[in-house]
Homo-oligomer: A and B are copies of this chain.
């Protein structure tokens, strides 16, 4: 059971909660117990799992990444988005989440986020669910 989900981002950088879309895919799969693998096919974006209760955490993660990755460093890539590529490598391209009783097994405060580092764009995320 697999498929893409579409994610529309609205800013240059933001974290978008895709948990409801992934959960819907899990529910539709009919697989009650297994693993959901999520993959980001873009090179200036990422996937992460982090706190969902306070939206300030999402903003603080973006603020931190902008400070951690030098925005100007004499980069050679002419598109000018090398910091976005570096953020993609720091965050990672895939997630692994367990499934029990047809539900994603996440910690109390965890949500699954698509990380936009070079938006706004229309992006997609791939998932694959196995028993």
Contacts and interface: CB of A to CB of B under 8 A. Distances in A.
B92 A77 contact: no
Classify the interface of chain A: helix, strand, loop or mixed.
mixed
Contacts of A103: none
A77 B54 CA distance: 7
A41 interface: yes
A74 B56 CA distance: 11
A128 B35 contact: yes
A79 to B, nearest CB: 8
Interface in A5-56: 35, 37, 39-43, 48-51, 54, 56
16 contacts: A41-B107, A43-B107, A48-B89, A50-B88, A50-B89, A51-B85, A56-B76, A56-B78, A56-B82, A57-B85, A59-B76, A60-B75, A60-B76, A61-B86, A90-B90, A98-B126
